[in-house]
Amino acid sequence: MILETERLYLRKMDQADLESLRKILQDEDTMYAYEGAFSDDEVQEWLDRQISR
């Protein structure tokens, strides 16, 4: 845990977040500003970059 408030729990991302991220990053409506939804490989690459940062 990095930070916790009454309404928020902030933590580092890990590989267990992959399925939840797929639901977001592969949704056409959500990803319209990114020129479309991500593929499975793109979601994994995005998560890997976030973890490495």
pLDDT in tens, 8-34: 999 999 999 999 999 999 999 999 999
What is the rounded distance in angstroms from the CA atom of residue 8 to the CA atom of residue 47?
21
- Domains of the chain, residue spans: 12-52
What is the rounded distance in angstroms from the CA atom of residue 47 to the CA atom of residue 27?
16
Q: What are 3's strand-pairing partners? A: 10
Q: Confirm whether pTM is higher than 0.85.
A: no
Q: What is the pLDDT of residue 28?
A: 96
CA distances from 11 to 14, 28, 36 (A): 9, 27, 27
